[in-house]
Structure 1
């Protein structure tokens, strides 16, 4: 009886510890602070009878599910498909194929087995990248974000400058090229009118000076 009580206590302690780890993984420092607050308050549920501790675990799990959609989804999945959370013993799996069929299946995939056996040592010999490089890349994250923000700002300024340049060119073309063309046409008309008037006066003067 004492052994059974000890096993029950150890099992509940392991469940409580796993729940605290899960809560910390999902909620971080806030969950740790909550657990410290509960411990400081001297809750007797973690040291009381097994039924009280089990109810406390259920309440904690429900509270965690209310705060985390992931936990809620896992509990819903467990309620609908409980078989997914039970690992089957590979030695008791049902085998519907005859030994001859199993042998032919193994022989048909022998090349695949050989290929996998040759690749596994290569995988074990693959060197793990130096974590210092990853650390430097992570440290460069803020600088990269600032550079991207600066690049976006420069792109916005460049787009504004292009728009202003297009407006300046359009204004210069309208006032400079087209305007000067109209002025030249006006000057040519005036010059032609003056030239005609001068020729008329010269012709009239010649007629006056000519002997009758």
Structure 2
């Protein structure tokens, strides 16, 4: 009797451990190299625990229900008629419907039956492609792959050319336009200096002539 109790207790413990591992996997979603779920990471703070997060969600839901009438109506509807928010089993036939009601539901889809049958029949009327044409298309597949690879290489080359063109334009702008502007500014400054020197010497020359 003791052996049976020990075996039953061991099996119960193993079952509980398996359930705990499954729950840990559902919460954490990670496993180690043996396939056993790893323990979930410890929350960074007390506010990140599951209980605190649930409390925040409940408070947010209460705030929405107070401020948004539509949310409040949906919550009240869920409290009064929870079965409306459950996905019904398609194989389950409601018990409260009479045979006449069920027949009317089935007959409402009666127009779809001939349409579906005609579509299925049209599939039989479709011609089968010529095997030689299909084989020719299959033989063209390597050539099409090479063409696609060529297009990819050409696109890469065009992209590289665009980058190089942009670099050349930038260099031309920096050297040709900006550099020329700086050169003209320097020459203009030199000319202004020469003009001032010429005027100064002319003034000195005029003063000397007047003194004589």
Larger radius of gyration: 1
Higher helix share: 1
Could you tell me the TM-score, scaled by structure 2's length? 0.45
- What TM-score comes out, normalization by structure 1 length? 0.45
